[in-house]
């Protein structure tokens, strides 16, 4: 039996409330009542908002507003406290000859200085006013944008499926440079210490460019199906290739430092998270915690985690499950499960934790707000 009932207008907020059994990990209806002390306990639902399509976009929360994209091609701004809609922006339909014949926003938006930057399947990078949703400018990427942009020092970096990564002026939307990644770029980009790291399909899977000039600094030929979006920590680039181990490369030279999980083989949509000297790797077979310096396994956790990246707040790791339909809270140091909250739908969206609340989307078209700290 599905957990939610649709209201007459799907974009309206669900106001129904009920109690949550944290021990059982169940939530039979859209929201949860506050505990007797007036505070939400970990795992309780605060609100759920119904969008018009699957939500794989990880949300960004700025100034008590939740920004996210949807498979229907809409960008949403939702009040973080009560789930009320503030504004929506609809992207265009993709060209008729493109692989995807429908609109869609899959990547995570970035919100900088009052502007929302987000890519779409209609072959554009958008800049939207964060308060009103009005379009400030759009940039034609030539092919659709799957991954999330990165913003650094007044420049927006965005990967595209037409073999390029673009550097675009954040204020004007004018192109500053473009770097050839030789194959379609499906994931996001990472910009750290003046270097742009981007993964792609094909024989050459990882490129690193100078962030200011666009000069190619180094690249890796892995002959893998695709490279996941890289994570950068302490001068090291961590990334996974389809069916391959996790690799650690020197961020400056590209020299391989170590690899982990040759007997496991990771996917193309899972992105590692690095925190306090540990790399956390989601996978269809579980979650792995690996020493960031040596690549040695510290602990693992059984589950099915695909198309997402863990989020860590106050030493607790939050991660949604693809098949088990739970949001998990796991001790980041020991790997011990602390609690779980069920949403009765696949979770492909990275959770974002702000002020003790986890915001994440589900494949049945909802954005959820769940209390994670008492």
Q: Are 361 and 56 in contact (CB under 8 A)?
A: yes
pLDDT at 238 exceeding the cut of 50: yes
What is the arrangement of strands in the sheet containing 286-291, beginning at the earlier edge strand? Answer: 273-275, 278-283, 286-291, 297-302
User: Residue 204: what pLDDT?
Assistant: 64
* Mean pLDDT, residues 352-367: 95
User: Residue 241: what pLDDT?
Assistant: 77
Please give the Cα distance from 180 to 344 (Å, whole number).
Answer: 42
pLDDT at 317 exceeding the cut of 90: yes
pLDDT at 373 exceeding the cut of 90: no
Tokens 């004007």 correspond to 172
* pLDDT-wise least confident of 158-162, 226-230, 334-338: 226-230
Q: What is the pLDDT of residues 177-219, one digit of tens each?
A: 999 988 877 778 999 999 999 988 766 678 999 999 999 999 9
User: Residue 41: what pLDDT?
Assistant: 84
Ordered structural domains, the chain, with CATH:
149-222 (2.40.10.480), 228-340 (2.40.128.630)
User: Residue 319: what pLDDT?
Assistant: 93
Q: What is the pLDDT of residues 119-145, one digit of tens each?
A: 999 999 999 999 999 999 999 999 889
Q: Percentage of the chain with pLDDT > 70? A: 84
User: Residue 24: what pLDDT?
Assistant: 26
Q: How does 1-31 read in b/e, with b if 16+ C-beta sit within 10 Å?
A: eebbeeeeeeeebbeeeeebebeebebebbb
* pLDDT-wise least confident of 55-64, 175-184, 201-210, 219-228: 219-228
Q: What is the pLDDT of residues 18-42, one digit of tens each?
A: 223 222 222 322 333 344 445 668 9
H or E element, residue 258: strand 256-260
User: Residue 100: what pLDDT?
Assistant: 62
Tokens 């406290």 correspond to 81
- Which of 209, 156, 205 is CA-nearest to residue 184? 205
Please give the Cα distance from 228 to 38 (Å, whole number).
Answer: 42
Residue 113: Cβ within 10 Å count: 9
What is the arrangement of strands in the sheet containing 60-62, beginning at the earlier edge strand? Answer: 60-62, 65-69, 74-79, 85-90
Return mean pLDDT, the chain: 85
Predicted confidence band of residue 14 (pLDDT cuts 50, 70, 90): very low
Predicted confidence band of residue 221 (pLDDT cuts 50, 70, 90): confident
- Can you read off the two tokens belonging to residue 58? 């990880």
Q: What is the pLDDT of residues 261-315, one digit of tens each?
A: 887 766 656 778 999 999 999 887 789 999 999 999 999 998 877 667 899 999 9
pLDDT at 236 exceeding the cut of 80: yes
Predicted confidence band of residue 45 (pLDDT cuts 50, 70, 90): very high
């Amino acid at each position: 039996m599905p957990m939610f009932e649709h209201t007459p207008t799907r974009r309206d907020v669900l106001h129904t409330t009920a109690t949550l059994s944290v021990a059982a990990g169940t939530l039979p209806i859209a929201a949860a009542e506050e505990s007797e002390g007036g505070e939400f306990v970990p795992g309780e639902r605060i609100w759920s908002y119904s969008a018009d399509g699957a939500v794989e976009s990880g949300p960004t929360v700025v100034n008590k507003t939740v920004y996210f994209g949807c498979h229907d091609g809409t960008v949403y701004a939702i009040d973080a406290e009560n789930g009320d809609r503030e504004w929506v922006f609809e992207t265009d339909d993709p060209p008729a000859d493109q692989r995807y014949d429908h609109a869609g926003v899959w990547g995570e938006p970035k919100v900088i200085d009052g502007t929302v930057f987000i890519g779409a399947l209609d072959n554009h990078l958008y800049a939207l006013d964060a308060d009103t949703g009005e379009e400030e400018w759009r940039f034609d990427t030539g092919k659709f944008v799957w991954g999330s942009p990165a913003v650094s020092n007044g420049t927006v970096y965005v990967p595209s499926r037409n073999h390029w990564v673009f550097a675009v002026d954040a204020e004007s939307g004018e192109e500053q440079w473009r770097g050839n990644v030789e194959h379609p770029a499906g994931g996001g980009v990472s910009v750290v210490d003046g270097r742009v790291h981007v993964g792609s399909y094909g024989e050459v899977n990882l490129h690193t460019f100078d962030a200011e000039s666009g000069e190619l600094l180094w690249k890796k030929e892995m002959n893998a199906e695709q490279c996941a979006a890289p994570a950068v920590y302490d001068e090291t680039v961590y990334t996974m290739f389809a069916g391959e181990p996790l690799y650690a490369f020197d961020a400056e030279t590209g020299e391989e430092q170590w690899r982990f999980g040759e007997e496991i083989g990771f996917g193309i949509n899972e992105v590692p998270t690095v925190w306090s000297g540990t790399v956390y790797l989601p996978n269809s077979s579980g979650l792995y915690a690996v020493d960031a310096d040596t690549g040695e396994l510290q602990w693992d956790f059984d589950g099915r985690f695909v198309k997402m990246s863990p989020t860590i707040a106050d030493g607790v790791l939050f991660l949604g499950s693809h098949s088990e339909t739970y949001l998990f809270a796991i001790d980041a140091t020991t790997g011990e499960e602390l609690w779980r909250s069920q949403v009765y739908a696949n979770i492909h969206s990275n959770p974002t934790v702000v002020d003790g609340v986890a915001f994440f989307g589900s494949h049945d078209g909802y954005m959820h707000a769940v209390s994670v700290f008492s």
